[in-house]
Amino acid sequence: MAEDAGLFDGVFSRGGAKTGSHAWLRAMLDTEAALARALERAGLAPAGAGAAVTDTARAAPFDPGELGRRAALSGNPVPALVAELRKAVPADTADTVHRGATSQDIIDTAAMLLARGALDRLAGHLAAAADGCAALATAHRDTMMIGRTLLQQAVPVTFGLVAAGWLTGLEEAADAVARVRAARLAVQFGGAAGTLASLGADGPAVAGLLAQELGLALPVLPWHTDRSRILDVAAACAGVAAALAKIARDVTLFAQSEVGEVREAGGGSGAGERRGGSSAMPHKQNPVAAIAILGCTRRVPGLVATLIAAAEQEHQRAAGAWHAEWEPFADLLRVTGSAAAWGAELAGGLIVDPARMRANLDATGGLPLAERVAGLLAPALGQAQAHDLVARASAHAVAVGVTLREALLGVPELAGWLDGAGITSAQIDEALDPAGYLGSARTFTDAALAAHARRQK
């Protein structure tokens, strides 16, 4: 069963997560087939019933559109699916279909199957993105650039440290995905009100066999109105989105024409196509991957908020809140996976311009090293007076358009303070060398790369 290609899929469905109507239907059919096999293994269905239901579930041409239309009669598509499946299987196995289950069991378990496939794909894209960031951190361990705080120039950093920060964010997000994938995807099988009363004493055994058949965890008890598993998946996706959005936002800022420190690789998906072009401006090369990531990740908070709001569910089965989860849950998996796929492409093809980084670092004439100069003066003048003197020199440099060195050494009053403190011009020159004021940037970068290497073992 193939999904129809959508107009916006190239941006929002790039990750390959299967979360559309056909994927939901396949997961629901897989759940019904696994239940039939579990019932047979428990001695509650005739020999061969599990195989018969499984074969029919795999081969019968069920129409999600028609099942969706019939869902209006019951509030969900499972009753219509069960009716069609019972008609399609051999007559002597029809009573095995859906035995002991309720609609929510099928949809919740299907959601876990969708999440498993989506998280597996997501993990692969995150690993590729992390490898790309590690390569950038390695290549640019010593590439100096200006650090920016509150969008203003601050002190020197290295691009290697920037990429190392991207790397650790991705790998921490990947760890959360792995934890959820390993421990929080569980089968749902509780029957009408979470007691499995229709199966008598055999209910827990069938639940355990169903979990085995599907390769999902067996929960302590059914979780019809405990939506923490849904929220754990959502939280993992939110963490991924945050890590990817950080990278994408940085790239859009670094790639601005006036900044020009990085750019995305060009190219397109077909002959004569060029990525980043504008329909109106021939000169443009927009950072498409970064923009697409932000388009995906901006949708994540709203989707997560809907799932959080839907987690308050009454009594044994919810009236409406459960239904509110289906589409946001699938959309969340889809757009997070797409963002991660774009992230892998972005990190693996980012073009860095070290010369432009150095030019931007030098553009303000030493002002980013004002903190270091103040530290040089502090032993002689005191911390407060040193700070005040360098602040006055910086203000003068900006006002008259000279470098911080020229302000410090060329303004008699300021130069007098330096002379009185015994500070030479050579010392000022040394303090204004950004290479000497990178702190632990290289150490931190190396630590991130070492952690990344350990993950590869």
Name the active-site residue from 317, 358, 392, 442. Answer: 317
The residues, ordered by sequence, that sit 6+ positions from 424 with a Cβ below 8 Å of its Cβ are none
Give backbone dihedrals phi and psi of 274, rounded to 5 degrees, phi first: -130, 120
With helix as H, strand as E and coil as C, how does the chain read?
A: CCCCCCCCHHHHCCCCCCCCHHHHHHHHHHHHHHHHHHHHHCCCCCCCHHHHHHHHHHHCCCCHHHHHHHHHHCCCCHHHHHHHHHHHCCHHHHHHCCCCCCHHHHHHHHHHHHHHHHHHHHHHHHHHHHHHHHHHHHHCCCCEEEEEECCEEEEEEEHHHHHHHHHHHHHHHHHHHHHHHHHCCECCCCCCCCCCHHHHHHHHHHHHHHHHHHCCECCCCCCCCCCHHHHHHHHHHHHHHHHHHHHHHHHHHHCCCCCCCEEECCCCCCCCCCCCCCCCCCCCCCCHHHHHHHHHHCCHHHHHHHHHHHCCCCCCCCCCHHHHHHHHHHHHHHHHHHHHHHHHHHHHHEEECHHHHHHHHHCCCCHHHHHHHHHHHHHHHCHHHHHHHHHHHHHHHHHHCCCHHHHHHHCHHHHHHHHHHCCCHHHHHHHCCHHHCCCCHHHHHHHHHHHHHHHHC
Q: Which residue in 74, 198, 278, 425 is the catalytic one? A: 278
Looking at residue 385, its amino acid is: Q
Closest CA to 414 of 391, 380, 382: 391
Tokens of 6: 């959508």
Is residue 263 flagged as an active site residue?
no
C-alpha 342/C-alpha 349 separation (Å) is: 11
**What's the Cα-to-Cα distance from 57 to each of 54, 86, 175, 213, rounded to whole Å?**
5, 10, 35, 15
C-alpha to C-alpha distance for 331 and 334, rounded to whole angstroms: 5
Residue 121 annotated among the catalytic residues of the structure: no
- From first CA to last CA, the distance across the chain in angstroms is 38
157: which 2 tokens?
């950093």
Residues classed as catalytic: 278, 317
